[in-house]
């Protein structure tokens, strides 16, 4: 779900702030 995806992105932002941009680019 969108909520789950958003939660995962928030977790990644805390752990891997440099890679979140790449993940967002892939997921569009």
pLDDT in single tens digits along all 28 residues of the chain: 678 888 888 887 787 656 656 667 777 6
Locate 19 and state its tokens: 């890679």
Q: Is 23 helix (H, G, I), strand (E, B) or coil?
A: helix
Comparing C-alpha atoms, which of 3, 28, 23 is closest to residue 13? 23
Contact yes or no for 5/11 (Cβ under 8 A): no
pLDDT value, residue 2: 76
Whole-angstrom Cα distance, residue 18 to residue 16? 5
pLDDT value, residue 26: 72
pLDDT value, residue 28: 60
């Amino acid at each position: 779900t969108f909520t789950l995806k958003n939660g995962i992105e928030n977790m990644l932002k805390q752990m891997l702030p440099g890679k979140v941009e790449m993940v967002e680019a892939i997921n569009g």
